Protein backbone atom coordinates (compact mmCIF):
# COMPACT_ATOMS: atom_id res chain seq x y z
CA UNK A 1 0.00 0.00 0.00
CA UNK A 2 1.18 3.54 -0.73
CA UNK A 3 1.31 6.07 2.09
CA UNK A 4 -1.71 7.96 0.76
CA UNK A 5 -3.72 4.75 0.40
CA UNK A 6 -3.20 4.07 4.12
CA UNK A 7 -4.97 7.32 5.03
CA UNK A 8 -8.74 7.48 4.93
CA UNK A 9 -11.30 10.19 5.56
CA UNK A 10 -13.95 9.62 8.21
CA UNK A 11 -17.16 11.59 7.79
CA UNK A 12 -20.61 11.57 9.38
CA UNK A 13 -23.06 12.21 6.52
CA UNK A 14 -25.59 14.91 7.29
CA UNK A 15 -26.92 15.02 3.73
CA UNK A 16 -26.56 12.23 1.18
CA UNK A 17 -25.99 14.42 -1.89
CA UNK A 18 -23.36 16.56 -0.17
CA UNK A 19 -21.37 13.54 0.93
CA UNK A 20 -21.26 12.17 -2.61
CA UNK A 21 -19.43 15.31 -3.71
CA UNK A 22 -17.00 14.88 -0.80
CA UNK A 23 -16.26 11.27 -1.76
CA UNK A 24 -15.50 12.28 -5.35
CA UNK A 25 -13.12 15.00 -4.14
CA UNK A 26 -11.44 12.50 -1.80
CA UNK A 27 -10.92 10.10 -4.67
CA UNK A 28 -9.39 12.82 -6.84
CA UNK A 29 -6.93 13.61 -4.03
CA UNK A 30 -5.82 9.99 -3.71
CA UNK A 31 -7.43 9.27 -0.33
CA UNK A 32 -7.33 5.51 0.25
CA UNK A 33 -10.72 4.92 1.87
CA UNK A 34 -13.81 6.97 2.57
CA UNK A 35 -15.11 5.80 5.95
CA UNK A 36 -18.78 6.64 6.54
CA UNK A 37 -19.64 7.16 10.21
CA UNK A 38 -23.16 6.05 11.15
CA UNK A 39 -25.38 6.80 14.12
CA UNK A 40 -28.06 4.22 14.98
CA UNK A 41 -30.76 6.82 14.23
CA UNK A 42 -29.31 8.67 11.26
CA UNK A 43 -28.85 8.11 7.51
CA UNK A 44 -28.08 4.57 6.41
CA UNK A 45 -24.49 4.73 5.20
CA UNK A 46 -24.67 1.54 3.13
CA UNK A 47 -27.30 3.22 0.96
CA UNK A 48 -25.06 6.26 0.52
CA UNK A 49 -22.07 4.06 -0.36
CA UNK A 50 -24.16 2.30 -3.02
CA UNK A 51 -24.69 5.66 -4.70
CA UNK A 52 -21.00 6.52 -4.25
CA UNK A 53 -20.01 3.22 -5.87
CA UNK A 54 -21.70 4.35 -9.09
CA UNK A 55 -19.85 7.68 -9.13
CA UNK A 56 -16.32 6.56 -8.23
CA UNK A 57 -13.74 4.19 -9.67
CA UNK A 58 -10.83 3.72 -7.27
CA UNK A 59 -11.48 4.87 -3.72
CA UNK A 60 -12.36 2.20 -1.16
CA UNK A 61 -15.73 2.63 0.52
CA UNK A 62 -15.90 1.71 4.18
CA UNK A 63 -18.20 1.90 7.17
CA UNK A 64 -16.82 3.10 10.51
CA UNK A 65 -19.10 1.70 11.67
CA UNK A 66 -22.51 0.15 10.99
CA UNK A 67 -24.34 -0.36 14.31
CA UNK A 68 -24.50 -4.13 13.89
CA UNK A 69 -27.45 -5.04 16.07
CA UNK A 70 -29.83 -2.86 14.06
CA UNK A 71 -29.93 -5.67 11.45
CA UNK A 72 -29.42 -9.42 11.29
CA UNK A 73 -25.88 -10.42 10.24
CA UNK A 74 -27.16 -12.32 7.20
CA UNK A 75 -29.22 -9.30 6.14
CA UNK A 76 -26.09 -7.16 6.40
CA UNK A 77 -24.18 -9.73 4.34
CA UNK A 78 -26.76 -9.52 1.55
CA UNK A 79 -26.43 -5.73 1.51
CA UNK A 80 -22.67 -6.10 1.15
CA UNK A 81 -23.14 -8.55 -1.74
CA UNK A 82 -25.01 -5.82 -3.63
CA UNK A 83 -22.32 -3.25 -2.84
CA UNK A 84 -19.59 -5.61 -4.04
CA UNK A 85 -21.45 -5.96 -7.35
CA UNK A 86 -21.28 -2.18 -7.75
CA UNK A 87 -17.70 -1.67 -6.50
CA UNK A 88 -15.89 -5.03 -6.61
CA UNK A 89 -13.07 -5.27 -4.10
CA UNK A 90 -13.60 -1.73 -2.80
CA UNK A 91 -15.95 -2.39 0.13
CA UNK A 92 -14.56 -2.42 3.66
CA UNK A 93 -17.12 -3.29 6.31
CA UNK A 94 -16.71 -1.93 9.81
CA UNK A 95 -19.28 -2.96 12.39
CA UNK A 96 -19.76 -2.36 16.10
CA UNK A 97 -22.31 -2.80 18.87
CA UNK A 98 -22.82 0.97 19.23
CA UNK A 99 -23.65 1.99 22.80
CA UNK A 100 -26.27 1.27 25.41
CA UNK A 101 -27.35 4.90 25.57
CA UNK A 102 -28.23 4.83 21.86
CA UNK A 103 -29.50 1.30 21.35
CA UNK A 104 -31.83 0.65 24.28
CA UNK A 105 -34.07 3.76 24.03
CA UNK A 106 -34.26 3.71 20.22
CA UNK A 107 -34.50 -0.01 19.45
CA UNK A 108 -35.54 -1.56 22.75
CA UNK A 109 -32.86 -4.22 22.30
CA UNK A 110 -31.14 -6.10 25.13
CA UNK A 111 -27.63 -4.80 25.69
CA UNK A 112 -26.27 -6.71 28.67
CA UNK A 113 -23.44 -8.53 26.85
CA UNK A 114 -22.64 -6.64 23.65
CA UNK A 115 -19.22 -8.20 23.06
CA UNK A 116 -20.61 -11.72 23.41
CA UNK A 117 -23.31 -10.85 20.90
CA UNK A 118 -20.76 -9.25 18.58
CA UNK A 119 -18.69 -12.46 18.72
CA UNK A 120 -21.67 -14.48 17.47
CA UNK A 121 -22.42 -11.80 14.87
CA UNK A 122 -18.92 -12.25 13.47
CA UNK A 123 -19.40 -16.02 13.41
CA UNK A 124 -22.14 -15.48 10.83
CA UNK A 125 -21.08 -12.36 8.95
CA UNK A 126 -17.41 -13.07 8.28
CA UNK A 127 -17.80 -16.70 7.10
CA UNK A 128 -20.79 -15.69 4.97
CA UNK A 129 -18.75 -13.04 3.14
CA UNK A 130 -15.41 -14.85 3.04
CA UNK A 131 -16.32 -18.55 2.84
CA UNK A 132 -19.81 -18.41 1.37
CA UNK A 133 -21.55 -20.26 4.18
CA UNK A 134 -22.14 -20.34 7.94
CA UNK A 135 -23.80 -22.53 10.56
CA UNK A 136 -24.38 -21.06 14.01
CA UNK A 137 -26.49 -22.26 16.93
CA UNK A 138 -25.71 -19.69 19.57
CA UNK A 139 -27.28 -17.70 22.35
CA UNK A 140 -28.13 -14.67 20.19
CA UNK A 141 -28.30 -16.06 16.63
CA UNK A 142 -29.22 -19.39 15.08
CA UNK A 143 -29.17 -20.39 11.43
CA UNK A 144 -27.22 -21.74 8.49
CA UNK A 145 -27.02 -20.79 4.83
CA UNK A 146 -24.91 -21.01 1.70
CA UNK A 147 -24.53 -17.83 -0.32
CA UNK A 148 -24.43 -17.79 -4.10
CA UNK A 149 -21.33 -15.58 -4.20
CA UNK A 150 -18.33 -15.07 -1.92
CA UNK A 151 -16.90 -11.55 -2.27
CA UNK A 152 -14.23 -11.87 0.44
CA UNK A 153 -15.13 -8.52 2.00
CA UNK A 154 -12.99 -7.68 5.07
CA UNK A 155 -14.90 -7.22 8.33
CA UNK A 156 -13.49 -4.88 10.98
CA UNK A 157 -14.90 -4.14 14.42
CA UNK A 158 -14.93 -0.93 16.42
CA UNK A 159 -12.90 -1.03 19.61
CA UNK A 160 -12.56 1.23 22.64
CA UNK A 161 -11.92 -1.14 25.52
CA UNK A 162 -9.23 -3.77 25.98
CA UNK A 163 -11.58 -6.73 25.51
CA UNK A 164 -12.90 -5.32 22.24
CA UNK A 165 -9.35 -5.02 20.92
CA UNK A 166 -8.75 -8.63 21.97
CA UNK A 167 -11.85 -9.73 20.06
CA UNK A 168 -10.63 -7.86 16.98
CA UNK A 169 -7.30 -9.64 17.19
CA UNK A 170 -9.00 -13.00 17.59
CA UNK A 171 -11.84 -12.88 15.08
CA UNK A 172 -11.99 -9.79 12.86
CA UNK A 173 -9.95 -8.49 9.94
CA UNK A 174 -8.85 -5.56 12.06
CA UNK A 175 -9.90 -3.00 14.66
CA UNK A 176 -11.17 0.53 14.08
CA UNK A 177 -10.43 2.79 17.03
CA UNK A 178 -12.08 6.13 17.68
CA UNK A 179 -10.68 8.96 19.79
CA UNK A 180 -8.08 6.71 21.43
CA UNK A 181 -4.86 8.59 22.32
CA UNK A 182 -1.63 7.25 20.78
CA UNK A 183 -0.24 6.08 24.13
CA UNK A 184 -3.39 4.04 24.78
CA UNK A 185 -3.23 2.41 21.36
CA UNK A 186 0.45 1.59 21.79
CA UNK A 187 0.29 0.34 25.39
CA UNK A 188 -3.20 -1.17 25.63
CA UNK A 189 -4.82 -1.72 22.23
CA UNK A 190 -1.96 -3.33 20.31
CA UNK A 191 -0.97 -5.75 23.10
CA UNK A 192 -4.62 -6.75 23.45
CA UNK A 193 -4.92 -7.40 19.72
CA UNK A 194 -1.76 -9.51 19.83
CA UNK A 195 -3.17 -11.58 22.71
CA UNK A 196 -6.37 -12.21 20.79
CA UNK A 197 -4.46 -13.18 17.67
CA UNK A 198 -2.21 -15.54 19.63
CA UNK A 199 -5.27 -17.20 21.14
CA UNK A 200 -6.61 -17.80 17.63
CA UNK A 201 -3.14 -18.80 16.35
CA UNK A 202 -3.13 -16.28 13.53
CA UNK A 203 -1.25 -13.08 12.62
CA UNK A 204 -2.31 -9.88 14.35
CA UNK A 205 -4.72 -8.03 12.04
CA UNK A 206 -4.39 -4.31 11.23
CA UNK A 207 -5.16 -1.47 13.59
CA UNK A 208 -7.02 1.36 11.85
CA UNK A 209 -6.55 4.32 14.16
CA UNK A 210 -8.55 7.51 14.39
CA UNK A 211 -6.66 10.78 13.85
CA UNK A 212 -8.00 14.33 14.14
CA UNK A 213 -6.57 16.97 11.81
CA UNK A 214 -6.95 20.73 12.18
CA UNK A 215 -5.42 22.26 9.03
CA UNK A 216 -4.46 25.59 10.58
CA UNK A 217 -1.36 27.14 12.10
CA UNK A 218 -3.61 29.10 14.51
CA UNK A 219 -3.30 27.08 17.74
CA UNK A 220 -6.22 28.91 19.36
CA UNK A 221 -8.51 28.08 16.44
CA UNK A 222 -7.36 24.46 16.43
CA UNK A 223 -8.11 24.07 20.13
CA UNK A 224 -11.50 25.77 19.83
CA UNK A 225 -12.48 23.47 16.94
CA UNK A 226 -11.22 20.45 18.87
CA UNK A 227 -13.21 21.33 21.99
CA UNK A 228 -16.36 21.74 19.90
CA UNK A 229 -15.82 18.34 18.28
CA UNK A 230 -14.97 16.61 21.56
CA UNK A 231 -17.94 18.05 23.46
CA UNK A 232 -20.15 15.18 22.26
CA UNK A 233 -17.76 12.59 23.70
CA UNK A 234 -17.11 14.50 26.92
CA UNK A 235 -20.48 13.34 28.32
CA UNK A 236 -20.41 9.76 26.96
CA UNK A 237 -19.41 7.43 29.83
CA UNK A 238 -17.75 4.84 27.60
CA UNK A 239 -15.41 7.43 26.07
CA UNK A 240 -14.77 9.07 29.42
CA UNK A 241 -13.75 5.67 30.87
CA UNK A 242 -11.40 4.95 27.98
CA UNK A 243 -9.78 8.39 28.18
CA UNK A 244 -9.35 8.05 31.96
CA UNK A 245 -7.68 4.68 31.42
CA UNK A 246 -5.41 6.39 28.88
CA UNK A 247 -4.35 8.97 31.48
CA UNK A 248 -6.64 11.80 30.41
CA UNK A 249 -9.40 12.18 33.03
CA UNK A 250 -12.10 14.62 31.97
CA UNK A 251 -13.81 16.78 34.55
CA UNK A 252 -15.54 20.03 33.59
CA UNK A 253 -13.65 20.70 30.35
CA UNK A 254 -11.42 19.05 27.80
CA UNK A 255 -7.80 19.34 29.04
CA UNK A 256 -5.19 20.85 26.75
CA UNK A 257 -2.93 17.80 27.01
CA UNK A 258 -5.70 15.63 25.54
CA UNK A 259 -6.05 17.99 22.57
CA UNK A 260 -2.28 17.88 22.05
CA UNK A 261 -2.39 14.06 22.12
CA UNK A 262 -5.33 13.71 19.73
CA UNK A 263 -5.12 16.61 17.27
CA UNK A 264 -2.58 17.07 14.48
CA UNK A 265 -2.40 20.74 13.54
CA UNK A 266 -0.07 23.28 11.99
CA UNK A 267 1.12 23.89 8.46
CA UNK A 268 1.07 21.26 5.72
CA UNK A 269 4.47 19.85 6.68
CA UNK A 270 3.53 19.51 10.35
CA UNK A 271 0.31 17.70 9.50
CA UNK A 272 2.02 15.38 7.03
CA UNK A 273 4.70 14.58 9.62
CA UNK A 274 2.06 13.89 12.28
CA UNK A 275 0.20 11.48 10.02
CA UNK A 276 3.38 9.68 8.97
CA UNK A 277 4.58 9.40 12.57
CA UNK A 278 1.43 7.47 13.47
CA UNK A 279 1.77 5.21 10.44
CA UNK A 280 5.45 4.58 11.15
CA UNK A 281 5.02 3.72 14.82
CA UNK A 282 1.78 1.92 15.65
CA UNK A 283 -1.04 2.43 13.13
CA UNK A 284 -1.47 0.29 10.02
CA UNK A 285 -3.97 2.80 8.61
CA UNK A 286 -5.63 6.03 9.68
CA UNK A 287 -9.20 7.25 9.52
CA UNK A 288 -9.04 11.04 9.73
CA UNK A 289 -11.59 13.52 11.02
CA UNK A 290 -10.92 16.97 9.55
CA UNK A 291 -11.99 19.73 11.93
CA UNK A 292 -13.97 22.26 9.88
CA UNK A 293 -12.63 25.57 11.21
CA UNK A 294 -14.38 28.68 9.88
CA UNK A 295 -14.71 27.31 6.32
CA UNK A 296 -15.36 23.54 6.21
CA UNK A 297 -14.72 23.11 2.49
CA UNK A 298 -11.41 25.00 2.70
CA UNK A 299 -10.32 22.74 5.58
CA UNK A 300 -11.21 19.64 3.55
CA UNK A 301 -9.33 20.97 0.53
CA UNK A 302 -6.27 21.68 2.68
CA UNK A 303 -6.31 18.08 3.89
CA UNK A 304 -6.78 16.76 0.36
CA UNK A 305 -3.83 18.84 -0.82
CA UNK A 306 -1.60 17.24 1.82
CA UNK A 307 -2.72 13.73 0.86
CA UNK A 308 -2.24 14.35 -2.86
CA UNK A 309 1.43 15.18 -2.22
CA UNK A 310 2.23 12.10 -0.12
Residues 49-61 have a mean pLDDT of: 98
Q: Are strands 33-36 and 60-63 parallel, antiparallel or unpaired?
A: parallel
Q: Give pLDDT tens digits for 297-306.
A: 999 999 999 9
Q: Are strands 207-214 and 155-159 parallel, antiparallel or unpaired?
A: unpaired
pLDDT at site 102: 81
Name the burial class of residue 148, with classes exposed (0-12), middle (13-18) and buried (19+) by CB atoms within 10 angstroms of its CB: exposed
pLDDT at site 3: 84
pLDDT of 12 strictly over 90: yes
Residue 252 contacts residue 190 (beta carbons within 8 Å)? no
Q: Give pLDDT tens digits for 146-185.
A: 999 999 999 999 999 999 999 999 999 999 999 999 999 9
pLDDT of 221 strictly over 90: yes
Residue 300 contacts residue 11 (beta carbons within 8 Å)? no
pLDDT at site 100: 81
Give the fold, CATH level 3, of 4-309: TIM Barrel (3.20.20)
- Give the pLDDT band (50/70/90) at residue 101: confident
For residue 290, give the 3-state DSSP assignment: strand
Is the pTM higher than 0.95?
yes
pLDDT of 103 strictly over 90: no
- Give the pLDDT band (50/70/90) at residue 132: very high
For residue 175, give the 3-state DSSP assignment: strand
pLDDT at site 1: 76
CA distance 45 to 83: 12
Can you give the length of the chain in residues? 310
Nearest to 192 by CA among 208, 204, 181, 182: 204
For residue 41, give the 3-state DSSP assignment: coil
Q: Domain boundaries in the chain?
A: 4-309
- Residues 6 or more apart whose Cβ sits within 8 Å of residue 81: 147, 149, 151
**Geometric angle at alpha carbon 141, from 136 and 146, rounded to 5°:** 45
pLDDT at site 105: 85
- Phi and psi, residue 283, nearest 5°: -110, 135
- Report how far apart, in Å, the C-alpha atoms of 29 and of each of 6, 61, 183, 279 are: 13, 15, 30, 19
For residue 176, give the 3-state DSSP assignment: strand
- Residues 6 or more apart whose Cβ sits within 8 Å of residue 310: 2, 3, 4, 7, 30, 272, 275, 276
Amino acid sequence: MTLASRIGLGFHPTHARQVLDLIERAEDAGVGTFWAVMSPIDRDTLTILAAAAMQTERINLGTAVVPAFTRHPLALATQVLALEDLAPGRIRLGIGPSHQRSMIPAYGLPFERPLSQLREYLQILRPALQQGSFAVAGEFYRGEAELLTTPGTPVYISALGEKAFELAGEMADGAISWLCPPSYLENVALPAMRRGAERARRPTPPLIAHAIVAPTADLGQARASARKFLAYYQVRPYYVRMLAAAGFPINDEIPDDLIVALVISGDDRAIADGLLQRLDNWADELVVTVLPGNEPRASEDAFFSIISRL
